[in-house]
Structure 1
Amino acid sequence: MTSESAGHDVRRELRNRVLVLTVDNPPVNALGVVVRRALSDAVEAAEQDSAVDAVLLIGAGRNFIGGADIKEFGKPPLPPSLPVVCNRIEACRKPVVAAIHGAALGGGLEIALAAHYRIALADARLGLPEVTLGLLPGAGGTQRAPRLIGAKAALDLMLSGRHVGAREAFALGLVDRVGETDDVLTEGLDYLKALLDAKAPVRRTRDADGLADPVASRAAIEAARAETSKKSRGLFSPLKIVDAVQAALELPFDDGLRHERQLFLQCLDSPQRAGLIHAFFAEREVLKAPETRHAKPRAISSVGVIGGGTMGAGIAVALLDAGLPVTMIERDDASLARGRANIEKVYDGLIAKGRMTADAKAAVLARWSGSTSYDSLVSTDLVIEAVFEEMVIKQAVFAELDRVCKPGAVLATNTSYLDIDAIAASVSRPGDVVGLHFFSPANIMKLLEVVVPARVSADVVATAFDLAKKLRKVPVRAGVCDGFIGNRVLAVYRAAADYMMEDGASPYQIDRVVREFGFPMGPFQVSDLAGGDIGWATRKRRAASRDPKQRYVQIADRICERGWFGQKTGRGYYLYPDGARTGKPDPEVEAIIDAERERASVTPRTFSDEEIMRRYMAAMINEGANVVHQRIALRPLDVDVTFLYGYGFPRHRGGPMQYADTVGLAKVLADIREFAQEDPVFWQPSPLIVGLVERGATLASLNHTA
């Protein structure tokens, strides 16, 4: 066989009686139908060709094989299927070696597992992350991985979805050798030559002995089942993965493959799979804001942070972790010392957990400096203001920034609610002003709302998105309004929860029902965690502009008037004795609720769990649709990503807008109209939902309109 091409996605080249198959399907060498067919045909041809002694599989570019082709998701499968290709590779009577660099994930690792030997380069990342899409490895991964590395290690890999590096993969037995250079072709050929010189046999993974100790294997499977039942919070695919590994232990290999396929197809049909794949696509699509397509970001090599409180310190940590020098400004030396202490507390916590060394902390803090003078920001590229949530205070900060910052410096505010157009109008350079709304704790939470005022320059918005990438955060573009996307919607569904509480539902029932839906916490637990005083301050700020026809529940105010602000004060809606993190129901709060019902002349009634969730979600969906209708969010998926990353919305449901489509918009609209009969002021159907239902369209149909 001479050097030739086998389709544009897999190249064939004969080198010293080794057929090198190079998967070349940019950008990640995904396993589309053309690649699958070409691989199968090439292995078949190699087996028949007397000029070929062995086969080497490698990837072109930066990866081995990044996984399935996401463009084929949701479409009818085209032959050959990936399980057929893997079986064809494994059945080859000539040695097949996979030489792995970059990503070998999902189906890419399943291809490597079907090979007879594996070598990984130092930059390799191996994993079976299908669980994150509501699936399981469906091309033999659940059968081959346990046979190769044992049930415990295989289950950890598949249930966590994590990636392992070359050294860990070697220690696990996932690969046979670690390359010493970054030349994947040379390393692969050298390894194959050594195997051929040693007359190494064809060694099929299906025959590996990782499950040779049935007692230990069964114990690992049962432990994983118990842990998964506890932690997976109603998720479908994790327990199916455990079932598949149990089949690997109990069934012959081919029967195990058939069982794996049945379980895979069950996952494929699950609405959870649809929700998780929507989330997967949405978090990539959300990066495509109009400004990022045409404008080039400004260079950011130094950042200033105004304020060293909880939020300012968290933002500073996020910036320091990204390798950026940070100058913190505070009003006096004592406040500056507290700001530095807030930062050190984060790193000391990591040291205590063994996740950081004292030397590493010192190296990070070497990039931090503090000052009580705004003049220290004269050469800074970006400044983020994180001071108290009052317009007068923020405008005073921006007046100082306008005075000292160099031309072209980006001036950002971390406000949660305030009018950024008003902040921008107070300075001489409104084109440089943008909102960067971090979520607390800012060094951990992934969401970053990039709030776009009317007069901002496109390159400033592009800079904000570029910064989010450096900080490994998920940016969502938001327009200016009270609360932007997330907090605006939150105010509405929290009001719906308050109405239910005053009408007869216990806050503890509401929290339980919301948790059972898949949120990590209910709304009253969230209030206690964030601090009830924050919401109280917002309600007082809005009191003058509140619609007098709008119902107002005063229960939270009564609780705050007692100084009960949640966890930090030891009680809020719940009691937190002795600094407990998990609260207990408080009879005194229930007495306050009873008294408020009486004052408001409310006769309490019983709510079913199902009605609580219908009302909670209808409020969330309706206001999310209003946010899209008013172009505060560009698309429904922007609302979904905001809630997935900032508000604990269960990922397997895809986000509130995706969930609305799953339930059916007509049903959501019917619920809103039913609830409007008792409160037409609060329950006003969004014009967007009304229009979509009239057209028989979905919210998803609007996801490519930005």
Structure 2
Amino acid sequence: MTHPVHYETDGSIAVITVDNPPVNALGHAVRAGLVDAFDRFEEDGAAKIAVLVGAGRLFIGGADISEFGKPRREPHLPDVIARIERSTKPVVAAIHGAALGGGLEVALGCHYRVAVAGAKLGLPEVTLGLLPGAGGTQRLPRLAGMDAALDMITGGKPVTPEIAAEYGLIDRIAPDGEARAAGLTYAQELLAEGATARPTSNLTAAPATKDAATWDQLLEARHPGQISQRRAAEAAFGATALPFDEGLTQERRLFDTLMESPQREALIHAFFLEKRVSSLPELKDVEPRPLDTVGIIGGGTMGSGIATACILAGIPVTLVETTPEAAEKAHATISKNLDGAVARGKMSAEARARADLTTTTEYQALSQADLVIEAVFESMNVKRQVFGQLDAVMKDGAILATNTSYLDINEIAATTSRPADVLGLHFFSPAHVMRLLEVVVADNTAPDVVATGFALGKRLKKVAVRAGVCDGFIGNRILSHYRAAANEMILQGASPYQIDAALERFGFAMGPYKVADLAGLDIGHATRKRQGPRPGVVNPDWDDRLNEMGRLGRKTGRGYYVYEDGAQEDPEVLAIIDEVRAKHGITPRDIGDDEICNRYMAAMVNEAARVVGEGIAKRPMDVDAVLLFGYGFPRWRGGPMMYADQTGIGTIRDRIRTYAEANPEFWRTAPLIDELSETGRTFGEMNQ
């Protein structure tokens, strides 16, 4: 095995290179190699200054996350950085690409820092439920001051070299070129100036403008329920309150506390999900079909969003609408989306100029497309008609995809002469923003068609998850169940506002009734009408009343909430709910926030267990990915299956049995819940 740290000299300059592809992660071999290299530098009488640089596309990406949870092996990263910092001769960090997490902490341990333009520098540990644990909370404040350090450490977002220079985090920016060359140039200048070693630990941190208690309150408000941001701030304040070594001791204590926290486990689980869910054993060695051009049927919100996503990925798009006016409107919508992407820095002006978009009313324009995605009205009759026309014009080997949210893809495929070429690609709105893509596999879908769906997801930078065919697939099927549990609680005595508030405190981005207002109450009304009565499911008469009144949510200014200067509670909605309770002879009872969260999550987990048990989702982690990336589930809880494992599947089962006493038809325990409870296994074990 090639050693991941190289030592060489260029005149009187020692060049130490970390070469551990793909991201120069700080695994054990790299840490040991760095200690050896700096020991050698200290003993090398010809070397007067050292330049630390990363090979490949970045400086150092950070800690090796695969080592988390395993026994620690010396040398530990804090000791490696301390070794670099106590070098008696000056050390320059030459940063390109990225210096993140432990990578930036290594750079902070060097005496001087130069960054190539375009690099990113950051401490993202809080996004993994941790804090910088190798001196970052102590060295960054000493360089950048407490205010800037607290923003970086608790926010987790990287900064540009320009911002880093403004903070005092780096000494200079190299406008272009290689990091090695920039480091050598800077090192030569430092030698000429007679520069000496400059340990960061000897500096004094500029104090914060807000005290520790105020920061704690701010972080609790910004990140309710989460602990890593608050512990990271607590550690950082040690830079002004404690001597350096004592600050390091406190940092390590708080880091170790977070390492043992369920939130860290959940966030690491979520981090790995993004790649793991798209790795399917059945697709190993299956080559996707060519994917050079995409057609889209329908230019509404969803169709235009899908077209935008494809064009942002550099894929030419031909979009078919029913009338020239509708085609022109779709073209304008997509163009506006692309212009917005340029304004936000998501697309270059050059790529915008190359954008290949054609809108038309002719299906024949799709005859040479490699894949067509249908995004028309959610009606089986309409979709069958569209697929019949596509079957007649599309070339052999082309893929016919539907963006349906609920409908039976097997029935859609049966209208064609090529069911093996049909699959579902369920995007989430807005499709050019939302990261989730359900790749829905019908009974006859060919393996290379499935592989192509995942290849498209990767190209569009989506989190692609395999789903089987059923009403609602993974996400919407589970959604209908936990939303039904919320409706049941309203009938029993809770208000939609109390439910939303409790679940937002639990960590959801939005409560279910705010989500309903965002989607439109007519959507839910149409779904219930299509599904018809379901055993044990409360019919939300109040929801139907609001729909009949034209209160369709945000698009009409009124739904569950009144939208005047934000979302405002509406006494009229509460009065309608009271009328419905009276009609059913129900005396409302007090329902606490804990019960709201427990019932809601029990319904979610129970239906998710059915989805996994029936093979609609292949693995529990597929459910976690869908809820995390498509439904606003709190990332720091890891997904509903991770939540169930951490809560205890037996506890979830017992809650379901208690709720079943009043409504046994709805609260039937999923067979997989019973099985795992009895055997003591977890959902996590099923992911292996």
TM-score, scaled to structure 2: 0.94
CA distance in structure 1 between the partners assigned to 2:601 and 2:348 by the alignment: 48
After TM superposition, the structure 1 stretch with the greater mean CA deviation from structure 2, 46-55 or 631-640, is 46-55
Determine helix, strand or coil for the equivalent of 1:617. helix
Deviation at 1:262, TM superposition (A): 2.2
Q: Partner residue of 1:534?
A: 523
CA distance in 2, matches of 1:136, 1:550: 44
Q: Distance in 2 between matches of 1:458 and 1:676?
A: 41
Of 303, 314, 318, 1:323 maps to 314
CA contact (8 A) 1:248 1:256 kept: yes
- In the alignment, which of 475, 478, 485 is matched to residue 467 of structure 2? 478
Give distance in 2, aligned partners of 1:157 and 1:62: 23
- Note if 1:383 corresponds to 2:378: no
Aligned partner of 2:228 among 222, 234, 237:
237
* Pair 1:612 & 2:603 matched: no
* Alignment-derived partner of residue 289 in structure 1: 280
Alpha-carbon offset, residue 196 of structure 1: 2.3
Q: How does 1:184-203 map to 2 (within 5 A)?
A: 184-203=179-198
Match of 2:485 in 1: 496
Q: 1:563 aligns with which of 550, 555, 576?
A: 550
The one-letter amino acid of 2:428's match is F
Where structure 1 has 5 or more consecutive residues not aligned to the other structure, the ranges are none
Q: Which moved more, 1:655-664 or 1:690-699?
A: 690-699
Q: Is the 8 A contact 1:56 1:97 kept in 2?
A: yes
The answer for unaligned runs of 5 or more in structure 2 is: none
1:392 to 381, 385, 396: 381
Shift in Å, 1:330: 0.7
1:152–1:221: 8 Å Cα contact kept in structure 2?
Answer: no
> What is the alpha-carbon distance in structure 1 between the residues aligned to residue 661 and residue 102 of structure 2?
53
**Structure 1 position 655 matched with structure 2 position 639:** yes
1:427 Cα deviation after fit: 1.0
What do the CA deviations read for 1:133-153 (whole angstroms, capped 9, x no partner)?
A: 011111111121122222333
Contact 2:122/2:152 (<8 A) preserved? yes
1:434 maps to 423
Q: Does the 8 Å CA contact 1:149/1:174 hold for their aligned counterparts? A: yes
| Bigger shift: residues 656-665 or 399-408 | 399-408
1:57 partnered with 2:49: no
CA deviation map 1:585-611 (0-9, x unaligned):
222222221222233233322212111
Q: Paired residue for 2:63? A: 68
**Alignment counterpart, residue 469 of structure 1, candidates 458, 462, 485:** 458
**Cα pair distance change 1:48/1:642, threshold 3 Å:** same
Q: Does 1:405 align with 2:398?
A: no
How far apart, in 1, do the equivalents of 2:167 and 2:419 lie? 56
Q: CA deviation at 1:558?
A: 2.3
* Structure 1 residues 469 and 139: alpha-carbon distance in aligned structure 2, compared to 1, 3 A threshold: same
For 1:21 and 1:170, locate their aligned partners in 2 and report how far apart those are by CA, in whole Å: 24
Structure 2 Cα separation of the partners of residues 292 and 120 of structure 1: 41
1:603-645 deviations in Å (ceiling 9; x for gaps)? 3222121111111000000111111111111111111111111
Match of 2:73 in 1: 78
| Aligned residue in 2 for 1:700 | 684
1:634 maps to which residue? 618
Q: Which amino acid aligns with 2:561?
A: Y
Which among 106, 131, 139 is matched to residue 111 of structure 1?
A: 106
Q: CA deviation at 1:71?
A: 1.4
Q: Secondary structure at the match of 2:230?
A: helix
Could you tell me which residue of structure 2 aligns to residue 177 of structure 1? 172
Instruction: Confirm or deny that 1:28 pairs with 2:23.
Output: yes
Contact 1:505 1:606 in 2 (8 A): yes
- Report deviation, 1:371: 0.4
Taking the aligned partners of 2:409 and 2:215, their CA distance within structure 1 comes to 49
CA shift for structure 1 position 466: 1.9
Deviates more, 1:146-155 or 1:630-639: 146-155
SS of the residue 2:226 aligns to = coil
CA distance in 2, matches of 1:495, 1:539: 11
Mean CA deviation greater in 442-451 or 341-350: 341-350
Go from structure 1 to structure 2 and tell me whether the alpha carbon gap of 1:25 and 1:345 turns closer, same or farther (over 3 Å shift). Answer: closer
| Whole-angstrom CA distance in 2 between matches of 1:181 and 1:358 | 21
Which of 203, 210, 218 aligns to 2:209? It is 218
CA distance in 2, matches of 1:515, 1:640: 18
Instruction: Give the direction of change, closer, same or farther, for the CA distance of 1:241–1:551 in structure 2 (3 Å limit).
Output: closer
Q: Is the 1:621–1:656 contact (alpha carbons within 8 Å) kept by the matching residues of 2?
A: yes
CA distance in 2, matches of 1:630, 1:350: 40
From the superposition, tell whether residues 173 and 405 of structure 1 become closer, same or farther in structure 2 (CA, over 3 Å).
farther
Q: Give the 3 Å change call, closer, same or farther, for CA 645–364 of structure 1 in structure 2.
A: farther
d(CA) in 1 for partners of 2:98, 2:283: 27
Q: Take 2:30 and 2:640, find their aligned partners in 1: how far apart are those partners?
A: 36
Q: Tell me, what secondary structure is at the counterpart of 2:252?
A: helix
1: CA distance, partners of 2:154 / 2:316: 38
- The one-letter amino acid paired with 1:564 is R
SS in 1 for 2:318: strand
What residue is the counterpart of 2:582 in the other structure? 598
Tell me if the contact between 2:581 and 2:588 (Cα under 8 Å) persists in the aligned partners. Answer: yes
Q: Which moved more, 1:401-410 or 1:685-694?
A: 401-410
CA shift in 2, pair 1:664/1:169, >3 Å: same
Instruction: Give the Cα separation in 2 of the matches to 1:667 and 1:420.
Output: 36
Q: Alignment length, in residue pairs?
A: 688
Query: Deviation digits for residues 251-305 of structure 1, max 9, x if unmatched?
Result: 3322222222222222223221111111112222112123542222233222222
* Partner Cα distance (1:661, 1:468) in 2: 29
Distance 1:357 1:647, change over 3 A: closer
Q: 1-side partners of 2:125 and 2:286: how far apart?
A: 35
| 285-294 vs 371-380, greater mean Cα deviation | 285-294
Whether 1:153 aligns to 2:148 is yes
Whether contact under 8 Å (1:218, 1:246) holds in the other structure is: no
Q: Partners in 2 of 1:452 and 1:255 — Cα distance?
A: 57
Name the counterpart of 1:140: 135
Task: Judge which range, 164-173 or 643-652, deviates more.
Answer: 164-173
Residue 358 and residue 442 in structure 1: after superposition, are their counterparts in 2 closer, same or farther (change >3 A)?
closer
How many angstroms apart in 1 are the aligned matches of 2:159 and 2:34? 25
Query: CA–CA distance in 2 between the matches of 1:632 and 1:144?
Result: 50
Equivalent of residue 688 in structure 1, options 672, 682, 686: 672
The answer to whether the 8 A contact 2:484-2:537 is kept is: no
Query: Residue 342 of structure 1: SS of its match in structure 2?
Result: helix
CA distance in 2, matches of 1:463, 1:56: 45
Q: Aligned to 1:574, which of 537, 553, 561?
A: 561
What's 1:41 paired with?
36
Question: Percent identity between the aligned chains?
Answer: 53
Q: Deviations over 1:78-131 (max 9, x none)?
A: 222211111111011122222223332100110111011223334533221111
Residue 420 of structure 1: which of 396, 409, 418 is its match? 409
Other-structure match for 2:514? 525
CA contact 1:525–1:573 (8 Å) conserved in 2: yes
The two structures have a TM-score, normalised by structure 1, of 0.92
What is the aligned partner in structure 2 of residue 313 from structure 1?
Answer: 304
CA contact (8 A) 2:484 2:538 kept: no
User: 1:277 is matched with which residue?
Assistant: 268
One-letter amino acid of the counterpart of residue 510, structure 1: I
Q: Which moved more, 1:193-202 or 1:362-371?
A: 362-371
Contact 1:291–1:461 (CA<8 Å) still a contact in 2? no
Q: 1:198 to 1:466 in 2, by over 3 A?
A: same
Deviation sequence 1:648-689 (CA, Å, 0-9, x none): 111111110000011111111111111112222111111111
Whole-Å separation in 1 of the counterparts to 2:178 and 2:336: 43
Query: Match for 2:413: what amino acid?
Result: A
Q: Which amino acid aligns with 1:648?
A: G
Q: Identify if the C-alpha distance between structure 1 residues 358 and 484 changes in structure 2 by more than 3 Å, giving closer, same or farther.
A: closer
Residue of structure 2 in register with 1:508 after alignment: 497
Deviation at 1:386, TM superposition (A): 0.6
